[in-house]
Amino acid sequence: MKLLLDTHVLLWWLTGQPLEPRAAEAVADVGTLVAVSAASLWEIAIKRALGKLRFDGSVDSVVREARFEPLPITASHAELAAGLPDHHRDPFDRMLVAQARSEQLTLATRDPAFDRYDVAVLRA
């Protein structure tokens, strides 16, 4: 399986919050590629700067220590995100949809708004 973690799923995993059993097993499985978008790191950094989120240390370092794959944002991801139907107004989530579609990843999330897009979803 190849996963892309939604930002909230990444934070829950890193802070030991429970995930749905199937999602937790998939993330923990050494055979699963677990990608984390630069968009998620950007979103976390913005929320930290605004005082809406506490997370000590470098998220990038913690992501790498967890052996997750960083997923950069490319020009093709940006173009695809801009062309998506307006089911979800959050630009970070739209980028995750574009990346999941472009890279053929399953999006691990609890956000039901992703169901309206043509993207594989694993309930987390």
Q: Check which CATH number belongs to the domain holding 49 and give it.
A: 3.40.50.1010
Q: Rounded CA gap, 96 and 57, in Å? A: 24
HSE (side-chain half, CA atoms, 13 Å) at 71: 26
Judged against a pLDDT cut of 90, whether residue 52 lies above it is answered with yes
Position 14 scores a pLDDT of 93
The range of the structural domain enclosing residue 19 comes to 2-123
Specify the pTM: 0.95
What's the domain count of the chain? 1
Position 86 scores a pLDDT of 85
Position 44 scores a pLDDT of 96
Position 78 scores a pLDDT of 98
The listed range with the strongest mean pLDDT (17-21, 59-63, 89-93) is 17-21
